[in-house]
Structure 1
Amino acid sequence: MGEERWCLVVSGQEAEERRRRLLEAGLLDRRYRPRQEGGTVLLPLTDEFPGAVRREFEAVPERPNLPRHEIVGGIAIMQENDPAGAGRVLTSRPSLHTVLFPETPVEGEYRTRRFAVLAGVPATRTRVTEYGLRFDVDLSLAYFSARLSTERQRILAAMEKGERVLDMFAGVGPFAITLARKADLVVAVDINPAAVHLLVGNITLNRMNNVVPVLADAGHLPRYGFRPFDRVVMNLPMAAPRYLPEAAALCRDGGTIHLYALQEREGEHLPLIRGVTRGEVLERRVRTYSPGKWHAVYDITLER
């Protein structure tokens, strides 16, 4: 079948999170394909590891040297304006239909970017499949990050059934619709009309009847008279911290706020958090954003 390697045997539910952690630690051997064995997933390791066992794996076929890019559904987003490299990316992945280059950073009230088409079909719209859910996305109209898929699953795993959830910056609905699998109610808010239009379509696409889309400025939400929520998601990394007082006003005592923020030092937003709660705060690094700056999440237990 292949070559025998050390591997870690994990359940299917935890496979993606464990794969990511091994990758970050440099312990995942990317030369070999992970594989399923019964209800478990076998993750090949670069070396022996506590709890590791020996199994056979197939080697990953060598791929051409491709420029760095991010995959969103059928679209690849390049980091460099490199049409020749875009052509190689397009031909290397049959599932792709378009390769884009962002001409602007994420900007403005609606968090959008302008793109140039480097290869393939001139389009910014695509469908993303994530853990059995489907999301229609238009990258020119609403922000979407596939890199937060494991974060969405992490929060879903931490939830109790029947929670009331508020997604303050919902975009096209990846957090809201994912968490609706356990929630009693999810109120999904965004200020961008195009994002809310896509969100409504994605609610229908995934047959969710417990997600309520709201077109509104998150800063105005406390005046709408909502009953306190058990969990509040704040995924607006460049601006979410300034909305923390509103999030605290909307969250029940003992509830949880997930604050996503960009920062340049550990605990950068703790003073602001301590202004609204005495509760437990857990800080995690999600991913690198730029040199010296990273995307962090603070899991906050609200205690007034």
Structure 2
Amino acid sequence: MVESVAILGGQGQLAFELQCLLAPDSGRSLSILGREDLDVTNAAQVDAVLSGIHPQIVINCAAQTQVDVAESTSENTFSINATGAGHIGRWCAANRAKLVYISTDHVFGQTIDRAHARPWRETDQPQPVSVYARSKLAGEQATLEACPHSVVVRTCGLYGQRPAKGKGNFVQTMLRLAQQRPVLKVVDDQWCTPSSAQDVAQAIRSLLVDPDAFNPKTNLTSRIWHITNTGSTTWAQLAREIFSLQGLTTEVIPITTAEFNAPAHRPGYSVLDTSRFHQSYGALPSWQEALATYLQRLQRSE
């Protein structure tokens, strides 16, 4: 029997990598749905479109991910990231479909002492402080409560072959700016784990083939997975690594989050503890290894 998969938010970076990974599998039929195909905020449309293709697995990558824009578009952001997630969750529950909801490290916005920080576990209490982060946490809750066969995947700083909508991902942005300026100011007090969308897609595939991952008898926290590459860094250190690997001489001047003065708050420390996933399915590469592999892929595609 062919297993059918629907990927929502089909124009995004992670959706693209999932499509590339799952499409060659002859044991699956794949439906890629972008915003023009499915408005997740419209419950009737969600029911009609998903009932038309009747997927057995739904991967919900559909999201408003522009963190600063979200601050001035709160209603729309919550409508997509939270209300829409609930619509999808209820359809999946009614049709006994498995559901994966993609979330973010930003749900951990607590101000903490970097010297005493440890990576955030799935069991830690989130404290989102931006509109975007609050909407994604609400989407997690809506998904888990609506659909017993659902899991949440929190990840961080994705970069992939397809540029992030409207702006390019961080790696591609740094490469573009390096061609324009000899010196770049980059934030150096936000610690996280930028991650390859390709690696995260492969990790999600591990969940899809494990029936126990979607066991409705497990508690809600057990259905949350932290999936990133390993290690941690700051955006300024990441920029330096990009330029070093590419043989560029662009100078990186570290600045603080306050100096950057973005409209939305960013977590100072949002490194995710991925040990539970690693123990169950195996470790992902380090962020340095993942970045080197990604840059090689970019060069081959040019």
Per the normalisation by structure 2, the TM-score is 0.27
Higher relative contact order (CA 8 A, sep 6+): 2
> Which structure dedicates a bigger proportion of its chain to strand?
1
TM-score (norm 1): 0.27
